[in-house]
Structure 1
Amino acid sequence: MIEARGLTKRYGPKTAVDGISFTVQPGQVTGFLGPNGAGKSTTMRMIMGLDRPTAGSVTVNGQPYAAHRSPLTEVGALLDAKAVHTGRSAYNHLLAMAATHNIPKTRVQEVIEMTGLQSVAKKRVGGFSLGMGQRLGIASALLGDPKTLILDEPVNGLDPEGVLWVRNLARYLASEGRTVFLSSHLMSEVALTADHIIVIGKGRIIANAPVKDIVDGGAQHTVRVRTPQATQLAELLTRDGATVTSDEPSLLQITGVEAPGIGELAAASGIVLHELTPVTSTLEEAYMLLTADSVEYQTESATQHVGHGVDSPADAPISEGAKR
């Protein structure tokens, strides 16, 4: 379990984390979301004792991280997969970590096999791809068979098979009663992996609830209807207080009335329906609504630049991904 109470971190005049309190429960996967600069990494660093809070406190399994006599068996963390001696092999890196806690060599071999590193275990880490570096970071986190896992962007650089593996691993570890706390910018993946979500924006908690509650809270309960009598149906629905929009002549997007009500109204009016589909909201949509006022770095849509003075690719704005 992770418990934060009034956790605050200031860097000079800037407040990175502003008095946040939350509990990460064992037995479930908790996603930690927020825009760049929201305070996610700072919070994770304070949990791991890498940054000292300006105020407040945070404990892992009942104690501050630094107070644990055997931290690797209490908490496993992936915060920076590149924080590895590039001249060492993956095996020797894990072996050196194991030696600090009297962890047997057999466990080193176990986590190498668990993370799919067998073929590269004796190779220097400096030659690893981003995905292999992530796998080594996860192997390091698992080495002490800890009660709590803290994973910052664990699927970064992984191929689809690797992403699925991390998802299944996180859920399996939680099913064993462990605490799993992970951050990711991939909303679709968090929606599939996490049971509970904490959203932070500008250093403050703006949501802390089960995934379903957050998604339902951001939903507009839209129903998509396709009918050759779209105009007639739209008039009837608008008269009943629904909001109707349309992108094409036979297609309606309706809010304010549930699908059964629309179907009953159409049947009573002799209107033929070719489609009647409730549109499910996504975690990404709910997240965007929640963090709309918390995004520090705003960007413009790429379509805004098309045909507006951008003469060549060299003149086009560079995306954040391209910079990296």
Structure 2
Amino acid sequence: MIEARSLTKRYGTKTAVDGVTFTVRPGKVTGFLGPNGAGKSTTMRMIVGLDRPTEGLVTVNGRPYAEHRSPLLEVGALLDAKAVHIGRSAHSHLRALAATHSIPRTRVNEVIEMTGLASVANKRVGGFSLGMGQRLGIAAALLGDPQTLILDEPVNGLDPDGVLWVRQLARGLAAEGKTVLLSSHLMSEMALTADHIIVLGRGRIIADAPVAELVGSTTETLVRVRTPHVEHLQVALAAQGATVANNEPFLLDVTGTPIERIGELAASAGVVLHELRTITGSLEEAYLSLTRDDVEYQTDAAVGFDPRLIASSAPVTRTSQEEQR
């Protein structure tokens, strides 16, 4: 279990993490989300003792990381896959880590097999692809068979098979009763992997809830109806106070009326239905809604950039180009 209480980190006048309090519980995959600059990396570094909190406290399995006599047996972390001596082989790197905690060579071989590194275990890390480097970082995190696992962007650089493997690994470890904290910018993957979500924005927690609850409370649920009798059903729905959008032929998107009531209205009006289903919001929609006002580094699209402005701009002439040089 990971517990943070009023955790704060300042760098001069900059407050990177501002009084956050949360608990990451065993038996679940907890997603750790937030825009760039939200304080996620700083928080994870404080969890494993790489940064010292300015105020507050964070513990892992009941103690600050630095107080564990054998930290690799308590916490496995992947924060920077490149933090490896590039002249070493994967096997040598893991053997060196294992030696610090008297972890047997058999365990080194186990994590090499587990992470798909067997064919490159004796090759220098400097020649590894991004994906293979990620696998080595995960192997190091798993080395001590820890009760708590912290993975920052673990699927970065992995192919689809590798992404699926990480998803199954995280969920499998949680099913064993381990604590899994997973940070990623891939909302679609997080929706498939995480049970619970913590969202940071500008150093503060803006959401801490199960995935379904988070999505349900921040996105709109609609009922999609497909029928050749759009006009008849639209009149019946309007009489019930439903909000109806008709964006395509033979298709209605309805809000404000339960799916069961829509079916009853269609039946009483003699309307044939070809489709009737509920469409819920996505984790991505929920995340964007939550963080809309907390994005520190906004793109043009986020601030309402209009691409038509490009078309209306005067072309740059040869003379003006020369003047710019």
> For structure 1, which segment, 155-164 or 263-272, has the greater mean C-alpha deviation from structure 2 after superposition?
263-272
Contact kept, 8 Å, 1:221 with 1:258, in 2: the verdict is no
1:152 match: 152
For 2:290 and 2:257, locate their aligned partners in 1 and report how far apart those are by CA, in whole Å: 24
8 Å CA contact 2:232–2:269 kept in 1: the answer is: no
**Deviation, structure 1 residue 270:** 1.9
2:281 alignment counterpart: 281
Greater CA drift, 83-92 or 192-201? 192-201
Listed one character per residue, the Cα deviations across residues 166-203 of structure 1 (whole Å, up to 9, x for unaligned) are 11111111122111111111112111111111111111
Secondary structure in 2 matching 1:309: helix
Unaligned stretches of 5+ in structure 1? 316-324
Q: TM-score, normalised by structure 2?
A: 0.91
User: Which residue of 2 is the match for residue 271 of structure 1?
Assistant: 271
Corresponding residue number in structure 2 for 1:115 = 115
Question: Which residues in structure 2 correspond to 1:50-61 (within 5 Å)?
Answer: 50-61=50-61
Residues 153 and 310 of structure 1: is their aligned pair in 2 closer, same or farther, counting only changes over 3 Å?
Answer: farther
More displaced stretch, 271-280 vs 142-151 = 271-280
User: Partners of 2:70 and 2:262 in 1: how far apart?
Assistant: 61
Q: Which residue of the partner structure matches residue 231 of structure 1?
A: 231
Change beyond 3 A, Cα 1:53–1:192: same
What code does the residue aligned with 2:310 have? G
Q: Equivalents in 2 of 1:309, 1:198: separation in Å? A: 39
Conserved? CA contact 2:31–2:184, under 8 Å:
yes
Instruction: State the secondary structure of the residue aligned to 1:9.
Output: strand
The worse-fitting range, judged by mean Cα deviation, of 243-252 and 71-80 is 243-252
Q: Distance in 1 between matches of 2:236 and 2:82?
A: 60
Q: Distance in 2 between matches of 1:69 and 1:23?
A: 23
Q: Which amino acid aligns with 1:89?
A: S
Tell me the residue number matched to 1:260. Answer: 260
Bigger Cα displacement from structure 2, 260-269 vs 72-81:
260-269
Tell me, in whole angstroms, the C-alpha distance in 2 between the residues paired with 1:16 and 1:106.
41
SS for the counterpart of 1:8 is strand
The aligned runs of 1:36-185 (5 Å cut-off) are 36-185=36-185
The CA distance in 2 between the partners of 1:237 and 1:304, in whole Å, is 37
- Percent identity between matched residues is 71
CA distance in 1, matches of 2:65, 2:125: 27
1:32 has 2:35 as partner: no
Structure 1 length as normaliser, TM-score?
0.92
Q: State the distance in 1 between where 2:27 and 2:227 align.
A: 47
Structure 1 segments (4+ residues) deviating >3 Å:
300-308
Amino acid paired to 2:39: G
Uncovered stretches (5+) of structure 2, i.e. residues with no partner = 317-325
Q: Match of 1:321?
A: none
In the TM superposition, residue 235 of structure 1 has moved relative to its aligned partner by: 2.8
Pairwise CA distance, 1:306: 5.3
Residue 194 of structure 1 is matched in structure 2 by: 194
1:215, 1:283 within 8 Å by CA — same for their partners in 2?
Answer: yes
Deviation at 1:296, TM superposition (A): 1.5
Greater C-alpha radius of gyration: 2
CA offset digits 1:247-290 (Å, max 9, x no partner): 12321111101211111111111222222121122111111111
Tell me how far apart the structure 1 counterparts of residues 103 and 84 of structure 2 sit (CA, whole Å).
Answer: 19
Contact persistence 1:94–1:140 (CA under 8 A): yes
Query: Root-mean-square deviation (CA), in Å?
Result: 1.9
Deviation string for 1:118-141 (max 9, x for gaps)?
010011101100100000000000
1:251 and 1:136 map into 2 onto residues whose CA distance is: 50
Structure 2 equivalent of residue 5 of structure 1: 5
Greater shift in the superposed pair: 250-259 or 68-77: 250-259
- Are 1:296 and 2:288 an aligned pair? no
